[in-house]
Structure 1
Amino acid sequence: MAFAVFKLLKRHQNLAANVSPIKFYCRARHTANTRNLFSRISPLGDPSLSVVPVLDQWVQEGGKVNYFELQRIVRDLRARKRYRHALDVSEWMSSKGLCQFLPGDHAVQLDLIGRVRGLDAAESCFSSLSDEDISKSYGALLNCYVREGLIDKSLSYMQKMKELGFATSLNYNDIMRLYIRTGQPEKSPDVLSEMKEEGVSPDNFSYRICMSSYGMRSDISSMEKVLEEMEREPHISMDWLTYALVANLYIKAGLHDKALIYLEKSEEKVNKDALGYNHLISLYASLGCKDDMMRLWSLEKTKCKKQINRDYTTMLGSLVKLGELEETKKLLDEWELSCPSYDFRVPNILLIGYCQKGLVEQAEDTLRDIVKKGKTPTPNSWAILAAGYVDKQKMQKAFECMTEALNLQARNTGWRPKPGVVSSVLSWIGDNGDIEQVEAFVSLMKTVITVNREMYHALMKAYIRCGKEVEGLLHSMKEDQIEADDEILSLRQK
């Protein structure tokens, strides 16, 4: 622990100069302690695995927990969309009584319950809250209704919040988002007007949603008027995200000169925000501006201390979009030398780029080179190649690559192959494979998708070609509740 604190003190020595030594030591110690606990939770990527045993073991080993540590862990897990694990921590935090559980924590927990267990569970949770704890949970429940796209229920509940005096800009923003999500963007500006009439000041997000709603309808003139109003508001601080949104709307409208003006405005606001650089790089890629992409990438590496996988993913994807595959390969080599953990989503971008250009063999060579270095691909890496070979009608290779993907499925239980690729491979192997090959492939396929008619079509064609009796196959179909269609019956008659 002492060594971890020392490293934090070294890293933040400039900050320490402005903070009392005792306060800074406590802050550094808290951060180090949080990291140690989070480092135990973070590797549990499978949502079906509870993190409660990890938390219990931490306490049993004498590990300290406090409100700020657990709150930060919940926030980090939510940011990573690991909602089930975030809910585990939140409920453990409230049930153990190790630290105070505030109204804001109840609101976060309700939102997580809605995401993980559904709307009924969220409503039940809301009704069980005391008057003291419920104040901040009204907005969380509204957010659950909005997320489900329930227009009438959302509007009715919003009216109740307004009558109680609980409605904030965040809640009005939720209603604006609801209209956009449900295909009614023309109603969002009316909500912005209502906010102002009710004396609720719109925030940056309010204006951005409204501008997006005009952009969706190609009403650039109205979008520009909202932007002008936003820039005039003294309580609004213009940020890179707003100008990047405007630039993107201009790009979609085909007004590239105006887009470039607002990309420059956005860049002036980015400062040291790596996410901002990524966003701008993607937008410049949409305009085909390679020089500006490379300039911003260089700036990001100078301004931001460290580039993570997300940053390389953005830059690699942008180079692929411009067809710069040689430079993409060089950047991938750079990433491999610096990455602390090998994430196959990064090289997959190059594999996709090769396949899009019809260079599937080059994509396969790249993947096999990575395997030779001791890395185990994800199923999707091989599935990308399978799709590429299907496009080139090299079905033997597509079959081999899909088999590789299926054999790796246990490493990524959430992976599902593309239905079109599966259909093509099943059709081909039914016409060309021997019985053992088809049975083995179908058996593997059943581990990732529900048994379907196409699997039986492939088996039936192989059985008939090889002169094998099909009565047992027809019986299996009946057990799987799949009726023999005309194609099956016609195959049987041959």
Structure 2
Amino acid sequence: MWAIRRASSSFKKQVFMTGRSRIWYATSKISSDGLKGASNVISHRPLTFGGFRITSRGFLRMFMESQSFSSQAGTKSSGEEDSDSDVRFSELESSTATEEMQKANKVDESVSEQELSEEDLDGEAPQELELSDTESEVSKRNSSGKRVSSALYNAIVAAPALSVCKILDKWVEGNDVTRAEVAEAMLNLRKRRMYGRALQLSEWLESKKQLPFTDRDYASRVDLIAKVRGLKKAEDYIGMIPKSFRGEVIYRTLLANCVAESDMKKSEQIFNKMKDLEFPLTCFTCNQLLLLYKRTDKKKIADVLLLMEKENVKPSLFTYKTLIDAKGQVNDISGMEQIVETMKAEGIEPDINTQSILAKHYVSGGLNEKAENVLKEMEGGDIKENRWACRSLLPLYAALGRADEVSRIWQVCESNPWLGECVAAVEAWGQLHNIKEAEAVFDKMARKWPTISSKHYSVLLRIYANHKMLSKGKDLVKRMADSGCRVGPLTWDALVRLYVEAGEVEKADSILHKAAEQNRLRPMINSYLVIMEQYARRGDVHNTEKILHRMRQAGYVSRISQYQCLIRAYVNAKAPCYGIAERMKSDNVFPNKGLTNMLAQVDAFKKSPVSDLLD
């Protein structure tokens, strides 16, 4: 089982010099000191190790034979590391109950898909943390095709956004509030990302004492507060939960939300807090750390794998998916394939999502033949019988430039398409620069589901942005407004890209600023980055710093990508950047090799041969 260790890289201490500033990386060092450091893995400090012995067997050793995590981590630009691979790849691990929700969504999409277009739904199963036992049962019923009608859910959806509690007070006068009814309503609200209303429902249930709360109910509240009001409010709420219910599931819910925010410092603090409270180490918790470090510091992945081996935590399918994706991101194809073989040897077969990740990285690595072989495996013997693969196949064939295959797969769906297939087809034709076909599929989708959400409009809007079609983009936004669509962060992001690609950066900046001020939803981090990169390219230090400040105001944690962009602005402006190393250190951001070279260019105290003579 632990043979996957053989793919890990050795860690070398790295010292980066930036003028008079010296930044040391906290790294793991292979030595003969044994596992002395491993006993304090979850300690009062971040996950760093002084040294430990690697045995001849096991999980981590597979990684030790590959140098990619130490020699290649950070060699991509931050934009690449923070690409939409993390968006497509689940932000939170799916529990068994959530896997049932995925099945439920598939059934819903084919049986009653019109319901799925009521709100901001992208067709994917929500990446939730835990479901109550009742919600799990409801999900299983849904997955069998027996949909449970929820009058409570319908009442909540019909209510004005800020009047849910008043509607519930009236609704309860003639209806019984059962756990099954609540579970069905909560499940549907989460599926449609209506977290604000779900939170109001949870608060109403507790304040009115309609149902006795369990630890899962409190965990659900923590999750919703984190999503709607932020991590600080969620952590404050934990202190209000009765101590008898303040168990492991509460803290791992908070941990997963910290990971979703890529807040490494806070995630490690929560992880260490769980150790202090002597909670058992679970695969879910380890997977959250793997997911965090895949995005922020790949060198720490081996630390987590060693901990899993020491504590005898068996890897799950999600563990393997995370490691496969991490290897693919640094273009370590052989290491990625090794993990797949180990996974199969453990009796875990790759699912369609895992195969999609493999194919995506084969395409990125230029291994088109291998990618096509994976896609044929995804199709199975008959694509009509394995239709669930179509949605994944369409954009992957487009990435290969195979318009003929995209056309073939779309023909399977075209006579009676599902919503997710339409979205995938629009994306695929956009990738292939076939705007006419993308528009035709979109129009077909809009006719079949007149109430499609702004998220679906945003797919075509992004295509217009990528092709600098400002006029068509404006017309689509007007069409969206006329249809009564609720405009959210995805639409703002598409609009920002549309104006940026048209060269109207100030207009894009203005749109984003107004959206953030007038709405309770915060913009996507990529929306800020797109504008920030344009200002940096111009050498506009003032506006680059302004966008960085706004990102912090929105609650986004500083990452290496932001600092790369900021320093690029100073480089292009040929201006010194005072105190940048200290700023990075305070934000717990450490430079890679490329960023270190950039830091040297903006060091206000660097010396030249002339300055030496003058001194």
So what's the TM-score if we normalise by structure 2? 0.52
Post-superposition Cα deviations, 1:322-381, rounded to whole Å, max 9, x if no partner, equal 11122123223322321141445545544554564455455666777x59x964677798
C-alpha distance in 2 between matches for 1:45 and 1:313? 29
Is 1:177 the equivalent of 2:291?
Answer: yes
More displaced 10-residue stretch of structure 1: 218-227 or 357-366? 357-366
Tell me which residue corresponds to 1:65: 177
C-alpha distance in 2 between matches for 1:363 and 1:146? 34
Kindly provide the amino acid, as one letter, of the partner of residue 433 in structure 2: G
Post-superposition Cα deviations, 1:404-444, rounded to whole Å, max 9, x if no partner, equal 999999998869898999xx9xxxxxxxxxxxxxxxxxxxx
Pairing 1:106-121 to 2, within 5 Å after superposition: 106-121=218-233
Tell me which residue corresponds to 1:329: 439
Aligned counterpart for 1:37 among listed residues 152, 157, 164: 152
C-alpha distance in 2 between matches for 1:374 and 1:114? 33
Counterpart contact for 1:185–1:216, Cα < 8 Å: no
CA 1:349–1:153: 2 relative to 1, 3 Å = closer
Kindly provide the amino acid, as one letter, of the partner of residue 237 in structure 2: C
CA 1:357–1:45: 2 relative to 1, 3 Å = farther
How far is 1:170 from its partner?
Answer: 0.5
CA 1:338–1:358: 2 relative to 1, 3 Å = same
C-alpha distance in 1 between matches for 2:248 and 2:516? 46
Aligned counterpart for 2:186 among listed residues 74, 86, 98: 74
Aligned counterpart for 1:103 among listed residues 215, 221, 225: 215
The unaligned stretches of length 5 or more in structure 2 are 1-107, 113-137, 535-615
Tell me which residue corresponds to 2:372: 260
Kindly provide the amino acid, as one letter, of the partner of residue 153 in structure 2: F
Tell me which residue corresponds to 2:273: 157
How far is 1:312 from its partner?
Answer: 2.3
C-alpha distance in 1 between matches for 2:354 and 2:301? 17
Kindly provide the amino acid, as one letter, of the partner of residue 187 in structure 1: K
Kindly provide the amino acid, as one letter, of the partner of residue 327 in structure 1: E
Counterpart contact for 2:259–2:289, Cα < 8 Å: yes
C-alpha distance in 2 between matches for 1:120 and 1:392? 38
C-alpha distance in 1 between matches for 2:309 and 2:511? 58
Aligned counterpart for 1:142 among listed residues 255, 270, 284: 255
Post-superposition Cα deviations, 1:436-484, rounded to whole Å, max 9, x if no partner, equal xxxxxxxxxxxxxxxxxxxxxxxxxxxxxxxxxxxxxxxxxxxxxxxxx
Kindly provide the amino acid, as one letter, of the partner of residue 307 in structure 1: W
Tell me which residue corresponds to 1:167: 281
Post-superposition Cα deviations, 1:207-250, rounded to whole Å, max 9, x if no partner, equal 1111122222222221111110001112x243111111111122
Counterpart contact for 1:328–1:350, Cα < 8 Å: yes
Post-superposition Cα deviations, 1:292-313, rounded to whole Å, max 9, x if no partner, equal 22333333457xx7622x4422
CA 1:189–1:363: 2 relative to 1, 3 Å = same
How far is 1:198 from its partner?
Answer: 1.9
Aligned counterpart for 1:297 among listed residues 381, 405, 410: 410
How far is 1:315 from its partner?
Answer: 1.4
Post-superposition Cα deviations, 1:246-270, rounded to whole Å, max 9, x if no partner, equal 1112222222211112222233399
Higher alpha-carbon Rg: 1
Counterpart contact for 1:83–1:116, Cα < 8 Å: yes
Counterpart contact for 1:186–1:214, Cα < 8 Å: no
More displaced 10-residue stretch of structure 1: 385-394 or 347-356? 385-394
C-alpha distance in 1 between matches for 2:217 and 2:251? 13
CA 1:81–1:271: 2 relative to 1, 3 Å = farther
CA 1:271–1:144: 2 relative to 1, 3 Å = farther
Is 1:187 the equivalent of 2:315?
Answer: no
Is 1:307 the equivalent of 2:418?
Answer: yes
Aligned counterpart for 1:288 among listed residues 379, 401, 415: 401
C-alpha distance in 2 between matches for 1:344 and 1:101? 35
C-alpha distance in 2 between matches for 1:272 and 1:178? 37
C-alpha distance in 2 between matches for 1:95 and 1:378? 30
Aligned counterpart for 1:56 among listed residues 139, 149, 169: 169
C-alpha distance in 2 between matches for 1:350 and 1:144? 30
Post-superposition Cα deviations, 1:372-407, rounded to whole Å, max 9, x if no partner, equal x96467779899789868866899xx99x9999999
Counterpart contact for 2:379–2:386, Cα < 8 Å: no
Pairing 1:381-420 to 2, within 5 Å after superposition: none
CA 1:267–1:189: 2 relative to 1, 3 Å = farther
Counterpart contact for 1:111–1:144, Cα < 8 Å: yes
Kindly provide the amino acid, as one letter, of the partner of residue 314 in structure 2: S
Tell me which residue corresponds to 2:244: 131
Counterpart contact for 1:106–1:137, Cα < 8 Å: yes
So what's the TM-score if we normalise by structure 1? 0.64
Aligned counterpart for 1:212 among listed residues 313, 322, 325: 325
Kindly provide the amino acid, as one letter, of the partner of residue 443 in structure 2: D
Kindly provide the amino acid, as one letter, of the partner of residue 71 in structure 1: A
Post-superposition Cα deviations, 1:79-123, rounded to whole Å, max 9, x if no partner, equal 333322222222323333333433222222222233334444433
Tell me which residue corresponds to 2:429: 319
Counterpart contact for 1:111–1:140, Cα < 8 Å: yes
How far is 1:177 from its partner?
Answer: 1.5
Pairing 1:87-102 to 2, within 5 Å after superposition: 87-102=199-214
C-alpha distance in 1 between matches for 2:236 and 2:366? 49
Counterpart contact for 1:278–1:314, Cα < 8 Å: yes
Counterpart contact for 2:362–2:368, Cα < 8 Å: yes
How far is 1:50 from its partner?
Answer: 4.8
CA 1:179–1:416: 2 relative to 1, 3 Å = closer
The unaligned stretches of length 5 or more in structure 1 are 1-7, 13-23, 425-494
CA 1:91–1:387: 2 relative to 1, 3 Å = closer
CA 1:335–1:411: 2 relative to 1, 3 Å = farther
Is 1:243 the equivalent of 2:355?
Answer: yes
CA 1:66–1:237: 2 relative to 1, 3 Å = farther
Kindly provide the amino acid, as one letter, of the partner of residue 69 in structure 1: E
Q: Which has the higher contact order (CA 8 A, sep 6+)?
A: 2
Tell me which residue corresponds to 2:392: 279
How far is 1:203 from its partner?
Answer: 0.7
Kindly provide the amino acid, as one letter, of the partner of residue 200 in structure 1: V
C-alpha distance in 2 between matches for 1:292 and 1:389? 32
**Which of the pair is proportionally richer in helix?**
1
- What SS does structure 1 have at the residue aligned with 2:177? coil
CA 1:130–1:324: 2 relative to 1, 3 Å = same
Counterpart contact for 1:192–1:202, Cα < 8 Å: no
